[in-house]
Each structure stands twice: as structure tokens, then as C-alpha cells.
Structure 1
Amino acid sequence: MNATAARQHEVLVLGAGYAGLAAAIQLAARTRKRGNLHVTVVNPYDTFTERLRLHMTATGQQTAELHIPELLAGTGAHFVRGWVTAVDAEARTVRVDDDRVLRYDTLVYGLGGIADTTTVPGVDEYAHTLDSPQDAAVLARRLARSDGRTAVVGGSGLTGVEAAAEIAERYPELNVVLLGRREPGAGMHPRAKTHLDGALARLGVQVRSGVEVTKVLPDSVELADGSSIPAAVVLWTCGTRVSPLAAAAGLTVDDRGRVVADSSLRSVSHPDVYAVGDAAAIRQGYGLMHGTCQSGMPAGVHAALSILRALAGKEPKPFRFGYYHTPVSLGRDDGVVQFTHPDDSPRRIVLTGKRAAKYKETVTASPWPTFARMKKMPASGAFWPHGGRYTRTWSTK
């Protein structure tokens, strides 16, 4: 090993989602000419999961296959395909697939979240999720042979709404039932909610709010009021959970297992660990952030810049983020965009119909070109994410 390699600072990024990739590419782009920092990205798949399009994959529609190694090419970052099975925060090592051990000086923890299939009996055994393209493809095959029966979508949040609308539009012979404790679009401006409700009605989606699923069976779901709904297919979008690896490693986590981060996105218990995305509990003035692409990419960028400032002997700056919009697709040619205040509360400004659908498609397509632009940015460049308020213009110099 030569002297340059011996001086390299090893940064290990766990998870190649929106936040993890943003962190890795920012670090690589800003240090590729220095040779004193090496970035490794670990992810179970070598293709990027476009979560914003999984409801399309779930209805048999073809989407682009985006390869992570191709995106990292030329940055100097190294890609390792595998499942993370353990983190040793004291030894600063990560075990991958139980037979490989990777060392780090700084860790970016971005393993994300998955659908919570543990709280309701039968969900794990009989319901589908949208956690990965593979899961979505399995659901697509199941929907294609459902023969006009009932498809139940559990969860009336935005993922459930988008999936129910897509399924109903793609398979009009199916009876699509959307179940949830709250009404769809409950947090939106009345004008946005009215359009959303009308679109679901137009597509024939049967909405049942104020209900609680207590059990999922092979051919039905049971509700808290004692009734049941026959179901050939069940899609579960109620809540998320995160990997237990952070808690097992001894990192300070919140009651949902998310890494508790300080204002610079550094773990409050382990300063060599930075947390981003769904796996991080990041507090802002308005409360805890919720995981989205809109907030994940800026968080990843900020973590990278915090790392570089710390390595330069400077104090990292606080992360300040405000939400900008909530775009929702309602099939291919309809949608609603709720513009928001920084705390994610609704503004009066709303887009609906085809204009909203086009806007949502632009937002959905934006991360990949943004990643590509990051690769070419100068070391002192600024980054402004599409679709969010990120209040710092950064330079590490």
C-alpha cells in the first residue's frame, strides 16, 4: 500500500436510496482530485429503486432500469452489492452477507424503511408491499390474474392513494377498495382534497375511511367492527419500520428505531456516524421530518458536507429544510399537487388534472439527472434540490 492510500479516510455509505446516493456522490465529486478520501456504497441491489414509480411497476408498466455502478462511474466511489447484516460501531466495521467485513472511519447510515408488516396478523404472510421493484413485480403478476375480483389497498396515505388509482385505471374490471383510518388527502387544502376524492370516484375506487384492519387472511381482510371484505389481492401501505441494525449496534435511536441525529445529521451517540433518509430521526423547528425523496436528497448532501467540514477541522453547519409540495398521481393523466408551507402544512396553491400529472412526472424524473449533475459539480459548488427548500448554499472552502 502506498503512502497516499494509507492516508485515505474511508467513508462507508449504507443504502443507495435518494439520501445515500446524494451523500456518496457529493463526497466523491468534491474529493475526487484530492485522493485523501475513499467512498464505498453498499446496497443489496445494483439498480436504483425509484420509489416514486413503484405503483407503476406494480401495475405492469415498464420503467427505466437505472444502474448504480453506472451512476457512480467516474466519481471514484466504489460499489459493493450485498445485504448489511451487522454494524459494529465500536470496531467501526460493517458485516455484509455474513462473510465480508468492511472497515470505515466515517459511516453514513441510510438503510431506509420498509412497510410495517408486523403489527397486524396475516399481513406478512398474505399481503403485498411496495418495498422494492421485485415486490412490485410480484404484485403486478398477481393483479394480472385476479379475474375481476377485489383488490384491497390497506392504508389511505399517499402511497395507498397512488396505488389504488393506478390499479383501478390499469385494471378497470377489478373492484378496488381503499381502506384507512383517515380520509384520503385529509391534510390537503379543501380544493385539492375535492379533486382527489373526485378522481378516486371516477376511477371506481371504493373508499372506506375510519376503519381498522385487524387481520389479513388468504382471501379476505377482517375489520375491527367485525365485518370482513373478500380480497383476491391485498396491498399493504400502512406505516413503515426501519432495520433493527442501528439499535443493535448501540446507536441512540428513537421509539421507532431511527438513529437520533443532531443538527448536522451526526448521531448523538457516535460522532463518526451520520444518519439520513427514513432511517434518521431529524428534528427541525416544526418537528421531526418525515422521509421523502424531497427531504432525503438534501439530507444526503448536507451529511456529505458536514463530513467534509469536520475533516477540515471546521464545525458542521446545522441542517435546515422546509417542504415545498406534495405531488400525487391519480393514474397516468390526472393528479393533484398540493403546495405547502415549510412545515408541510397546505397552502392555498393547488394544481390539478393533466398539469398536475405532468408536474408529478417532472418531479419523479428529476433525481437521476440531479445525481448526474452532481458528478460534474466543482468542489465549491452549491446544490439546490428540486422540490424542496434547502436553506444553505454550501462551500467547504
Structure 2
Amino acid sequence: MQHRIVVLGAGYTGAVAAGRLAKRLHRDDVSITLVNSEPDFVERVRLHQLVTGQDLRPRPFDEMFARTGVELKLARVTAVDVDRKTVTVTAADGPEREEVGYDTLVYALGSGWDDGGVPGATEHAYDVSGRPGALRLRDRLAALGEGRPVVVVGGGLTGLEAATEIAEARPDLSVALAVLGTLGDWLSHKGQAHLRKVVDRLGITVHEHTVVTRVDADTVTTADGRAIAADVTLWTTGFAVHPVVRATTLEAADRDRIVVDTTMRSVSHHDVYAVGDAAMAIGPGGKPLRMSCASGVPMAWQAADAIAARLTGVEVPKISIRYFQQCISLGRRGGLIQFVTADDRAVERALTGRLAAVYKELICRGAAWGVAHPTTGMPSRRRRITQPRTPIDAAARAAT
């Protein structure tokens, strides 16, 4: 019998993990099922471009995984039973439910937007954490007339990229940015200075030291009682992992992220691996890896290689996961590359302007290429499984 590997989610981490497993393991020994609700790969790091009307290149999974042995199941994950080793899914195009059994599970469902419990945010705010939200925002922005106010809440990477992209594409709108501290306060002095220069040039109003406590259809209200006009409110204050984890017995921490060891294996269930935003993994300096593509892709490499090694009876390799830079696009013609320490602290060195935009574009293209060609360029090391698939198999081998 084949060892059943099920990968949940086909974002950057899930797609990379599935492709890498297909390259590492002999297809006679394993079945690899990739569960995802959409038929093609979504470049999440480009969704701020989608909201301004730019078209993103389609990347169908059936082309990406053709002849790899990876089976795509178009479905939404509704439950995971880690004790029975089953996943409940609902067909993407209908109400049909199905249970999918696994021997090894790779949990890569990622994250969505987090409204933080702020009244009115769910009802009135927009998000760019997924393609449906980005398309909804694109339609709303297209309908806005000249001079109408747009408020982006959150001054992290997503908020900065969205605000500058919108302001550059729609200079007729009144774009504002509400941030908790000062603008770009985690950046180096050079990075902060450049960011402020770009924001000023694009005409973005910045509300610093601002906490939004309520969202209505046409305003946001702040903790100090101000009402800021907002025909559109874009919420980018952080991400929340998929809620299915809460109903499992997996050990989780810090906003329901699955606690994993250095090989991305669940500390409570050794047949479950978690990668990307859904995983609580410790990186350099003893700090949790942040939710990002920069963290997720090497996590997927590590998980896939660890699974393959354990199944084939070879030494588990260890992949160094560290940070080098934070890449921020500031519209289509500018950017900011903030170089950082291994544990993600800013150093003074930074690239700015057009050169930074080109650098960021190369990073994005490289990430998408790696997903679209999950097995290209990897040495052919398909090994046969030596580990028994079930306790019954183990007993049978011991008797022979």
C-alpha cells in the first residue's frame, strides 16, 4: 500500500512542499494529494497590484503539477481529525462532503485577515489577504469618484504596499494611512527617511500613533475620538490563521499557530507537519518566525526533506532559516529593500528607489517561479520508502 501524504493549502508553502515531496519520493511508494479551494496559484504578495486593476499571470495547478504524481483536489477544508488521521473537505463547486485519510499530513492553510475584534471591521472594511477580497476591493475602488477618501489601517508591509499602490494608480483619490506608532518605525533611519519621502510625494496623509476603534460605512473612529472620513477602509493590521486548528487536539500557541520542532513536525502529533503562517516555529535568536513568504518557503523545504528522510530511513537534513531583507514595493516605480540581521532586525543598509523596485520584482518572480516549477532544478533523489506505513505493516515485517 502507498503511504498517503496529504497537503492542505496550495499557497507558496503548500505548493512548494508538495512539489518537493514528489521529487524526493518514489511515486510507487507514495500518493501525494494537494487540497486547495482554487484551481490556480495566487501570488499573495501581488494582491495590492490586483486591487488597482492590474492583471496577474494565471498559474494553473494542473499545468504546474503535470506528470509529477501530485493529485490536486479542489475542495475547502472544513475539519481535521488528527486522532483519526482524516481531513473533511467540501467540494469547491458544491456541498458534497468527503473524508480524506492520510498517513502524513502537511498543514499549509496559511492565514487570512484579522479584524482584531474591532466593531464594524468585518461588516465594512476590505482586505487583501486573498484573491476574493482583493477583487472585491478592486471593484469598489473602480467605482469611487474623484477626491473620495480611502483609509488604510495598519502600517506594516501590507499596509504600506497597498497605500502606495493605490495612491500611485489613483492620484485622484484621497489616500490616508493610520499607523499605531510612527511611520516605518521598525526600519533603519535611511529606510524611514525614504519611506516618508515617497509617502509625501504620493500625497498620502499619515495618521501616526492612531488606534482605530470602530469602522463604519463612511468613517473610521479613533481611540482619541476623531472621525476620519473613509468611503473605503482597507484593514491590514495583521493576519489570523485558519480557524480549523482550534477544533483539533494539535498543540498550538500564539493565535492558534501549530507548535513545531526544527523540522516543522508538530510537537504533539508526529505525523503532522505545519509550514507557513500556520506554524509556530522558532528561528534565529530564539524568536518565532514571522508570517511571511520569506519564512514559509524554507519551512516548506525543511518539512518536505524531513518527511522524505524519515520515510526512506536516511538522516534528516536541517535547513538554515534566517532573514536577509524585507522587500517593500512602493508603487510600480519605487521600492525599499531593508536589509536585516538573521533574526529580522533592521541594519542601516537599505536600497531605495527604482533599483529597489527591480530587486523586489526579481524576488517576487523568483518566488512564483519556484512554485510554478516545484521540481525543476532539484537533483533527482527519489528514494524508496523503508518505513512501514502502518503498525500492521510493521508487525508483518517483523514476522518475516
Q: TM (normalized to structure 2)?
A: 0.91
Query: For residue 129 of structure 1, what is the amino acid of its counterpart?
Result: D
Separation (CA, whole Å) in 1 of partners of 2:38 and 2:6: 16
For the residue of structure 2 that corresponds to 1:234, the secondary structure is strand
Alpha-carbon deviations, 1:310-338, whole Å to 9, x = none? 11234534453110111111111011111
Query: For residue 290 of structure 2, what is the amino acid of its counterpart?
Result: H
Query: For residue 369 of structure 1, what is the amino acid of its counterpart?
Result: W
Query: For residue 344 of structure 2, what is the amino acid of its counterpart?
Result: D
For the residue of structure 2 that corresponds to 1:368, the secondary structure is helix
Alpha-carbon deviations, 1:358-379, whole Å to 9, x = none? 1111111112322344423223
For the residue of structure 2 that corresponds to 1:83, the secondary structure is strand
When residues 130 and 72 of structure 1 are mapped into structure 2, their CA distance, relative to the original with a 3 A threshold, is same
Separation (CA, whole Å) in 2 of partners of 1:230 and 1:247: 37
Alpha-carbon deviations, 1:324-353, whole Å to 9, x = none? 111111111011111111111112321111
Aligned to 1:9: 3
Aligned to 2:81: 88
Separation (CA, whole Å) in 1 of partners of 2:65 and 2:368: 12
CA-CA distance at 1:132 after TM superposition: 1.5
CA-CA distance at 1:119 after TM superposition: 1.4
- Report the identity percentage: 41
For the residue of structure 2 that corresponds to 1:375, the secondary structure is coil
Q: Unaligned regions of 5+ residues in structure 1, if any?
A: 1-6, 382-397
Alpha-carbon deviations, 1:11-43, whole Å to 9, x = none? 000010111111100001222x45101110001
Separation (CA, whole Å) in 1 of partners of 2:201 and 2:242: 39
CA-CA distance at 1:184 after TM superposition: 2.8
Q: 2:139 aligns with which of 126, 138, 141?
A: 141
Separation (CA, whole Å) in 1 of partners of 2:182 and 2:134: 25
Aligned to 2:172: 173
Q: 1:104 aligns with which of 78, 102, 107?
A: 102
Judge which range, 85-94 or 130-139, deviates more. 130-139
Aligned to 1:45: 38
Alpha-carbon deviations, 1:189-241, whole Å to 9, x = none? 11111111100110000011111000000111010001111111010001111
Are the counterparts in 2 of residues 158 and 184 from structure 1 also a CA contact under 8 Å?
no
Aligned to 2:16: 22
Aligned to 1:378: 379
Aligned to 1:391: none
Query: For residue 110 of structure 1, what is the amino acid of its counterpart?
Result: A
Alignment of 1:1-397 (within 5 A): 7-31=1-25, 33-97=26-90, 99-147=97-145, 148-286=147-285, 287-314=287-314, 316-376=316-376, 377-380=378-381
Query: For residue 312 of structure 1, what is the amino acid of its counterpart?
Result: T
Q: Unaligned regions of 5+ residues in structure 2, if any?
A: 91-95, 383-400
Separation (CA, whole Å) in 2 of partners of 1:94 and 1:354: 46
For the residue of structure 1 that corresponds to 2:128, the secondary structure is coil
For the residue of structure 1 that corresponds to 2:326, the secondary structure is strand
Alpha-carbon deviations, 1:243-269, whole Å to 9, x = none? 221231110000310000011110010
CA-CA distance at 1:131 after TM superposition: 1.9
Separation (CA, whole Å) in 1 of partners of 2:316 and 2:257: 21
CA-CA distance at 1:145 after TM superposition: 1.5
Are the counterparts in 2 of residues 150 and 232 from structure 1 also a CA contact under 8 Å?
yes
Q: Runs (4+) of structure 1 moved beyond 6 Å?
A: none
Judge which range, 94-103 or 201-210, deviates more. 94-103
CA-CA distance at 1:64 after TM superposition: 0.7
Separation (CA, whole Å) in 2 of partners of 1:375 and 1:23: 10
CA-CA distance at 1:91 after TM superposition: 0.9
Are the counterparts in 2 of residues 10 and 38 from structure 1 also a CA contact under 8 Å?
yes
When residues 118 and 351 of structure 1 are mapped into structure 2, their CA distance, relative to the original with a 3 A threshold, is closer
Query: For residue 303 of structure 1, what is the amino acid of its counterpart?
Result: A
Aligned to 1:3: none
For the residue of structure 1 that corresponds to 2:355, the secondary structure is helix
Separation (CA, whole Å) in 2 of partners of 1:195 and 1:182: 17
Are the counterparts in 2 of residues 265 and 319 from structure 1 also a CA contact under 8 Å?
no
When residues 351 and 341 of structure 1 are mapped into structure 2, their CA distance, relative to the original with a 3 A threshold, is same
Separation (CA, whole Å) in 2 of partners of 1:260 and 1:76: 30
For the residue of structure 2 that corresponds to 1:108, the secondary structure is strand
CA-CA distance at 1:73 after TM superposition: 1.0
